[in-house]
Each structure stands twice: as C-alpha cells, then as structure tokens.
Amino acid sequence: MTEPSPGQALGGFLRAHREGLPRPPSASTRRRTPGWRREELAEACGLSLTWITWLEQGRPVSASPAALLRLAQVLRLSAAERAYLFELSGKRDPEPVRIDAQLPDAVRMLPEQILVPAYVLDRSWSAVAWNAPARRLFPGWLDGDHDRSLLRYVFLSPASRRLMGDWEQRARRLVAEFRADVSRSLRQPAVLALITDLTQRSPAFAALWRQHEVLGREGGERRFLRPARRYFQSSFILSSQSDITLVTLTPSPER
C-alpha cells in the first residue's frame, strides 16, 4: 500500500473536515449527506466550486495562502489543524496562530528543578524563566534588573564580551540561528521591533543581519572566561508551543 501524495492527503483532510461541519441552517432536513456540500463551502469561502472539487480530489492545483486561510476559518480548524493544512499545501500561513499562548506553570518552574544552568526563551529569544546557576553564570543578563533579551545582551552589553571566550564566532552563529528560528514570526511586532532596535544600535548585529546567513540551532561546547569554564549546551523545544525553548548548560569535564 503506497502512501498518499501530499495533494491526496490534503484532499482527504479537507473533505473530512467539510463533512464534519454542522449542517448549515438552510440545509434540508431530508439531506442524507453529512456536513456541508462542496457548493456551500465554496460559497462561504468565496472560492470556485471547481477549485474546491479539484483540491478535494487531490489534483495538482495551486492554493494561495489567502485561499487556504479562508478555508481554515470556514472549516473552523484548530491551530494544530491549520498548521497541518498549510504544511500539506507547502505554503506559509500569513497569520500563524500560536497553539498555546500562555507559558505553562510547569514549564516556567522547570529550570528550578535542574541542577545545571538552565533558562527558557520565548519566540523573540527573551528569557522568561531561569534558575540560580544560570543567574550566576550570566551577569548583566539574568541577574539584577536587566533586559532579558539574549540578543540585546550579546550585542549591547559589554558583559557578554567579557564572558564569552569566542564572542565573534558565537555572535555570528547566534544571528544565523535566530534568523532561521524566527522565519515564521518576522511579521510579529515584538520580533520586528527587536530587529529594528538592534540594527540601529549595534553595528555588529546590523552587519551580520545583512549577510542573511541561516543555520539550524545546534548544541555543542560553549566556552566562558569568567569563570574559565566549558559547558555543553542543549536546547529542547516545547512540543505544544514550538517557539518556546529550554536551554541547559552541562559542565564539560576538565581537560
């Protein structure tokens, strides 16, 4: 048995959700078919019946993000279902929805349960939770009354250059990882404001941002000067909220 193509999977997904809708008030009580008819879905979305039909049949038709957005709204898709719809279509959601807007208390409290330095970053890479070892490790960022933005700390605080033994290399990689990580959030006001602010205030960030380097987030050894220590960094993405990341720093064995 062969796996369905993305077009076929999309067609089956749309058909199942169309048939799962409550019948419209205008529907005849004698109707035997469940949910909405294709004609009703096409009219509600402002799309052609032929296009809806071909899409459900799995034909290779092009679906614009705007058309998919109308389908998601009329079909009353959840955030996860909507993300799945755009993934199958190979398109980017023009108005991405966060699956869980609130940081669960269990996640906020998680760093305190970890013995090594640990912190939680939000979508714009600002720390929203951290433990005492992380606070001691990052003076000028997680201690006292400071801006919790990791990027502002690295590019605007002199403390970061005194702390990080390979500042230039880490700064370059940080910007490339940030670009990849926020590619779906570049229209978010908080992210746009952060990029604009850093571009204006940090020549180093502005130069790196203009290079358009993109890298996936990776762990690995991190070298610190004060005190002189090496750590292995690991990052964990929250499954229910992919823009929340837990970062841990495990001391590396002394060489």
| Cβ contact 85:68 at 8 Å | yes
User: Residue 27 pLDDT > 50, yes or no?
Assistant: yes
User: Residue 40 pLDDT > 80, yes or no?
Assistant: yes
Kindly give, in sequence order, each residue whose CB lies less than 8 Å from that of residue 21, ignoring residues fewer than 6 positions away.
Answer: 35, 36, 75, 76
Evaluate if pTM is beyond 0.95.
no
Q: Which residue has the tokens 């358009």?
A: 212
User: Residue 232 pLDDT > 90, yes or no?
Assistant: yes
Q: What's the CATH code of the domain at 227? A: 3.30.450.180
Both 122 and 243 in one domain: the answer is yes
d(CA 189, CA 186): 8
Crossing angle of the two packed helices 6-20 and 79-89, in degrees rounded to 10? 150
Least confident of 143-147, 193-197, 210-214: 143-147
Q: Last residue of some domain: 60, 89, 118? A: 89
Q: Domain for residue 96, yes or no?
A: no
d(CA 155, CA 168): 10
- Residue 175 main-chain phi, psi, to 5 deg: -65, -40
Strands of 245-251's sheet in order across: 127-130, 118-121, 245-251, 229-237, 220-224
Q: How many folded domains does the chain comprise?
A: 2
Q: What's the CATH code of the domain at 59? A: 1.10.260.40
User: Residue 162 pLDDT > 70, yes or no?
Assistant: yes
How many C-beta atoms lie closer than 10 Å to residue 52's C-beta? 24
| Cβ contact 194:234 at 8 Å | no
Both 114 and 81 in one domain: the answer is no
Domain holding 225, by residue range, is: 105-251
- Residue 149 main-chain phi, psi, to 5 deg: -70, 125
| Cβ contact 15:56 at 8 Å | yes
Q: Domain for residue 49, yes or no?
A: yes
pLDDT of amino acid 92: 79
Q: Domain for residue 190, yes or no?
A: yes
- pLDDT tens digit sequence for 169-205: 999 999 999 988 887 666 677 788 899 999 999 999 9
pLDDT category of residue 220 using cuts at 50, 70 and 90: confident
Both 112 and 201 in one domain: the answer is yes
User: Residue 105 pLDDT > 80, yes or no?
Assistant: yes
Least confident of 32-46, 64-78, 96-110, 172-186: 96-110
Average confidence (pLDDT) over 153-157: 96
pLDDT of amino acid 99: 46
Q: Domain for residue 215, yes or no?
A: yes
pLDDT category of residue 100 using cuts at 50, 70 and 90: very low
